[in-house]
Amino acid sequence: MGIIIKQTIKGSIWSYLGVLIGFITTTYFYTEYLTPEIVGLFGLLVAISNITSGLASLGMNGVAGRLFPYFRSNSNDHNGFLFLNTGIQLIGFTLFLIFYFIFKENIVENNISKSPLFAEFVYLIIPLTIFTVIFNLLDTYYKLLYNAVLGTFLQEFLQRVFIFFTLVLYILKFLSLEQLIVAYAVAICFKGVLLLTYLFYKGKINLHPNLKFINGKLRREIIDVALFSFIGGLGSMIVFSIDKLVVNQLLDLSNTGVYTIAFYFGTLVIIPSRPLLKISSTLIAEAFAKDDVEEVKNIYYKSCINQFILGGFLFLGIWTNIDNILSILGDDYIQSKWVIFFVGIGYLFDMLTGANGLVISLSKYYRKNFMFIAILVLLVVGLLYNLIPLWGIIGAAIAIAIALFLNNLMRYFFLLRKYKMQPFNYKFLIVTAFYLGLYLLLSFIPQQELIIDILVRGTLICLFSALFLFFVPVSEDIVIIKKSLLRKLGM
């Protein structure tokens, strides 16, 4: 089995275990013991720290993804790449701190009436930013050393375990509300601490400078890639994190909380793509460094079909159980139904189009990402400010879905024109027909008692999907897994 499928399977196991814990946390603890304002505060802090940490990276994570193959040298500490990366991102974090203290009072004044909780705990953005910077830096570095599983374990599983037990302590009255909010921030930060500690223990933290290795040509390329990665990354963060900020600005923290819960369910569709794309990025960069475009095409195609199969399976499971989900969430979250639908559809299309963004950003056309992102930023900001006043949080979800659709459509046509990469074939139609047919079949099943209904629908989806994938060879990787299992069973 190839490195992509092996690490995808391992990463997906941790991701799904994390989803299980996150489901309990989100559907029970959040809705039963926290107000929508508190949930909104959690979502807002994480969204802002994602933006600020991306800014503080100064485009170096993009440099790592594209140029690390030229630095790679196990015998020479990868020619001082980690020292260079860390030093530049430390400068970026220093700049963030300067801007934070300059604009802190304005942030507090603008939120004191509509979102007083955010104004009170705005200082948590500092630790959330620094430890998100550390985690992203080291996770990117370690995946370049062909280990994409550890970061997935820490972010998708262990972080959710910490949050789970933090909430348990609050429910048992061991923590006050103020302590809960701080503890939540600590739980988010801790993955950065753990990854740093682990890599230091394993001897992977080698901060030995080797500036002589960076000649004039490589220096210019680093600056060029960093600049366009920074601008493109800024646009991506605005597109995919600004929704909660705008919901909070145009509505309030309570609506932000409802949107955050609904957004969680919508994004369950994309969970399998995270471990797959992490390891795929390393292999795509290596293939481009060797000028092996055929290998890039192969990875691109496999990412599309495998992600579509997994994404379709998860979206079907969510949407056929939407009434059960709303019943669990309660009356405060009744308007989240169509938020879940539109966010889920948007991310399903993102899954369908596979690793297109990685292929462009790691190719010689990486500057084109700026053009795509600039169009997207204008589009999504415009849509958010026009659709939220009309349809509230549903308008925000529609804006994100349109942004995802257009973003991936532009990338698809670009790769088709530049590299003649066309990953879609009749197998995608077969998968689509199967999921639509299964949805229609399940729609005839009358609604049962909550737990029974979830079990019945979930069992049927898993059973029919397993039979379909076992007998219909729509994915080469799934065929390989099937043959491996049959050999182990002696069949």
One pLDDT digit (tens) per residue for the chain, 491 residues: 455 566 666 766 777 788 788 888 888 888 889 888 898 889 888 888 888 888 898 888 878 877 777 778 776 777 778 888 889 999 999 999 999 998 888 877 776 666 788 888 889 999 999 999 999 988 888 887 777 778 888 888 999 999 999 999 999 999 999 999 999 999 999 999 999 999 888 888 877 777 777 887 888 888 887 887 777 666 666 666 788 888 888 888 888 888 888 888 888 888 777 777 766 777 887 888 788 889 999 989 988 999 999 999 999 999 999 999 898 888 778 888 999 999 999 999 999 998 888 888 888 887 787 777 777 788 888 899 999 999 999 999 999 899 889 888 999 999 999 999 999 999 999 999 999 999 999 999 998 888 899 999 999 999 999 999 999 999 888 888 788 777 777 66
Q: Which amino acid is at 97?
A: L
Cβ atoms of 244 and 43 within 8 Å: the answer is: yes
Q: Which residue has the tokens 């933290």?
A: 205
Q: Which residue has the tokens 């990366």?
A: 85
Cβ atoms of 183 and 169 within 8 Å: the answer is: yes
Q: What tokens does 265 get?
A: 């369910």
Q: What tokens does 352 get?
A: 């369908």
Contacts of 300 (CB under 8 A, 6+ apart): 354, 355, 356, 359, 415, 421, 423
Q: How far apart are CA 340 and CA 319, in angstroms?
A: 8
What does the pLDDT read at residue 112? 63
Q: Which residue has the tokens 């299992």?
A: 485
Cα dihedral sign for 39, 44, 50, 52?
negative
CA dihedral 131, 133, 134, 140 (to 10 degrees): 140
Q: What tokens does 351 get?
A: 């899954």
What does the pLDDT read at residue 441? 94
Give the long-range contacts of residues 115-122, CB within 8 A, separation 24 or more: 115/40, 115/41, 115/44, 115/248, 115/252, 115/253, 115/256, 117/37, 117/38, 117/41, 117/181, 117/253, 118/41, 118/44, 118/45, 118/248, 118/253, 121/41, 121/45, 121/181, 121/182
Cβ atoms of 284 and 362 within 8 Å: the answer is: yes
Q: Which residue has the tokens 């600056």?
A: 223
Give the long-range contacts of residues 443-452, CB within 8 A, separation 24 or more: 443/320, 447/323, 450/324, 450/327, 450/328
